[in-house]
């Protein structure tokens, strides 16, 4: 078995997903030739167009169709005429849950040519590890006495030792390969059952990983510190809700929503992991050829790294940074380059041998 052959499912999806996913496959194909691995793409025409024809976002056996692949590269799903819960619960959430992608990884750096709201942009180099399948996003709870003055709602958060342990272990091991600093987002002063439990389990897991310093920081203080002193942070581990908020905060510091990547990872590799930009289908600019492909390309770099092609993953990031330092920028970053032109600049940077 040649372990350097990869089968990747492509869900380009809607809007600019149809423009940025082809940019990513062009670049990954070029990397495959240079670095000597083999890519097989399986095109999936799922998403809103599929919904309008079939009444669902993906086929009934969609999960099964993806299950023997090595990874999933997703563009965006969303349509102005479809409610968000349809696209979320019809495609994204089933994939994350069925494939137990319990780590949501969002790295952030300020790439060349980007104007960040921060002054000290060199210092920003952070990875947020968000718990992706349990915690505050639970179905436990309910509402009563609807419409009366006695009406109330109860929303339970569900944290399990298994769930906290596995995400904390992933984050600690990641920190060990970086600058050795792990910050855990907590709120144990106000949330007195689940958060002390989170703190205890995280501390015990991290104590088993050599060379990692752990700080537990209250989520409110952490949000402020990220804006004031982003250079103090390396890897941050957070529950589902806290991680969601922190990763958007940090992505905003990095300059444009068109840049930010993400990975939904199943660390034991029993199932495929999924890689997607943070941005959505952007119907306002779809079809114009001006979308920034960096979020998708960076997500493809995370995918290559996950597949074990670390050299190609790094080469891709270097090529993106070269193109951007040379002043090739899309409109969201104040430039004039279109999606194709930017992608060609990345391909040129790759072939001029970095």
Calpha distance 83→51 (Å, rounded): 12
Look-up of token digits 């990397």: 31
Closest contact distance (angstroms) between CB of 227 and Mg ion is: 24
Identify what 332 binds: ligand ATP, Mg ion, none; CB under 5 to 8 Å per kind. ligand ATP
| Residue placing its CB nearer to ligand ATP in the complex, 78 or 243 | 78
**Toward Mg ion, which CB reaches closer, 47 or 280?**
280
- Per the annotation, the verdict on 288 as an active-site residue is no
Annotation says 244 is catalytic: yes
CA distance 193 to 167: 19
Q: 216 or 292: whose CB is closer to ligand ATP? A: 292
Other Cβ atoms closer than 10 A to 209: 18
Q: What H or E segment, with its residue span, contains residue 11?
A: strand 5-13
* Catalytic-labelled residue, pool 9, 70, 234, 244: 244
Contact call for residue 258 and Mg ion (CB under 5 A):
no
Residue 166 contacts which entry, ligand ATP, Mg ion, none (Cβ below 5-8 A, type-dependent): none
Give the x/- contact pattern for Mg ion in 271-290, rule: CB under 5 A: ---------x----------
Which does residue 279 bind out of Mg ion, ligand ATP, none, counting CB within 5 to 8 angstroms by kind? ligand ATP
Nearer to ligand ATP, 115 or 221 (CB): 115
Nearer to ligand ATP, 86 or 98 (CB): 86
Min. distance of Cβ 202 from ligand ATP in angstroms?
Answer: 31
- Report the sign of the C-alpha dihedral through residues 85, 134, 11, 34, in that order: positive
Query: CB–CB of 290/338 below 8 Å?
Result: yes
Cβ proximity to ligand ATP: between 77 and 100 the closer is 77
Query: How many angstroms separate the first and last alpha carbons of the chain?
Result: 30
Which residue in the block uniquely carries the two structure tokens 């849950």? 97
Among this protein's residues, is 187 annotated catalytic?
yes
Q: Which of 187, 234, 305, 332 is catalytic?
A: 187
163 interacts with, out of Mg ion, ligand ATP, none, CB within 5 to 8 A per kind: none
Catalytic residue among 248, 284, 288, 305: 248
CB of 39 to ligand ATP, least distance (A): 23
Taking the C-alpha atoms of residue 46 and residue 168, their distance in angstroms, rounded to an integer, is: 33
Contact set with ligand ATP (CB under 6 A): 16, 76, 78, 257-258, 279-285, 291-292, 295, 332
Closest CB to ligand ATP among 21 and 206? Answer: 21
DSSP state of 309: -
Are the beta carbons of 45 and 111 closer than 8 angstroms? no
What CA–CA distance (Å, rounded) separates 205 from 163? 12
| Residue 86 in tokens | 């349809």
Residue 324: how many CB atoms within 10 A of its CB?
24
Burial class from Cβ neighbours inside 10 Å (0-12, 13-18, 19+) for residue 6 reads buried
CB 16 within 8 A of CB 294: no
**Active-site choice (84, 220, 288, 326):** 220
List the single partner that 250 binds among Mg ion, ligand ATP, none, CB under 5 to 8 Å by kind: none
In terms of DSSP bridges, do strands 71-76 and 273-277 run parallel, antiparallel, or are they unpaired?
parallel
- Report the alpha-carbon distance of residue 22 to residue 10 in Å, rounded: 9
Q: Which of residues 88-147 bind Mg ion (CB under 5 A)?
A: none
- Residue whose CB is nearest to Mg ion in the complex, by number: 280
Given ligand ATP, Mg ion, none, residue 105, with its beta carbon under 5 to 8 Å by kind, binds: none
Catalytic, out of 125, 137, 199, 232: 137
Residue (of 298, 346, 280, 339) closest to 319 by Cα position: 346
Scan residues 147-206 and list those touching Mg ion (CB under 5 A): none
- Rounded to the nearest whole angstrom, what is the least distance from the CB of residue 15 to Mg ion in the complex? 10
Q: Looking at residue 68, what DSSP letter applies? A: T
Active-site residues, by number, are 137, 187, 220, 244, 248
Interface contacts to Mg ion, rule CB under 5 A: 280
């Amino acid at each position: 078995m040649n372990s350097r052959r990869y089968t990747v499912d492509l869900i380009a999806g809607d809007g600019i997903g149809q423009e940025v996913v082809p940019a990513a496959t062009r670049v990954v194909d070029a990397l495959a030739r240079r670095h000597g691995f083999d890519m097989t793409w399986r095109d999936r025409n799922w998403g809103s167009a599929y919904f309008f024809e079939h009444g669902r976002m993906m086929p009934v056996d969609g999960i099964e169709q993806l299950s023997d692949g090595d990874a999933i590269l997703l563009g965006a799903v969303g349509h102005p005429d479809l409610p968000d819960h349809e696209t979320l619960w019809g495609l994204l959430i089933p994939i994350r849950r069925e494939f137990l992608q319990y780590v949501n990884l969002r790295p952030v750096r300020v790439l060349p040519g980007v104007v960040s709201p921060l002054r000290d942009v060199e210092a920003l180099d952070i990875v947020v590890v968000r718990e992706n399948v349990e915690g505050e996003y639970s179905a436990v709870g309910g509402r009563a006495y609807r419409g009366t003055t006695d009406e109330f709602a109860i929303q339970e958060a569900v944290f399990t030792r298994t769930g906290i342990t596995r995400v904390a272990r992933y984050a600690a091991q990641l920190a060990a390969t970086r600058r050795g600093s792990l910050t855990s987002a907590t709120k144990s002063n106000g949330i007195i059952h689940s958060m002390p439990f989170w703190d205890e389990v995280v501390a015990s897991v991290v104590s088993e990983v050599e060379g990692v310093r752990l700080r537990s920081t209250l989520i409110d203080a952490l949000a402020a510190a990220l804006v004031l002193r982003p250079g103090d942070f390396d890897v941050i581990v957070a529950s589902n809700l806290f991680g969601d908020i922190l990763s958007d905060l940090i992505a905003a510091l990095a300059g444009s929503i068109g840049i930010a990547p993400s990975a939904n990872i199943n660390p034991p590799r029993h199932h495929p992991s999924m890689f997607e930009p943070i941005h959505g289908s952007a119907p306002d600019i779809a079809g114009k050829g001006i979308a920034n492909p960096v979020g998708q390309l960076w997500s493809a770099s995370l995918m290559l790294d996950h597949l074990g092609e670390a050299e190609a993953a790094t080469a891709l990031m270097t090529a993106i940074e070269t193109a951007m330092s040379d002043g090739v920028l899309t409109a969201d970053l104040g430039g004039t380059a279109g999606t194709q032109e930017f992608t060609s600049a990345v391909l040129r940077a790759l072939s001029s041998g970095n």
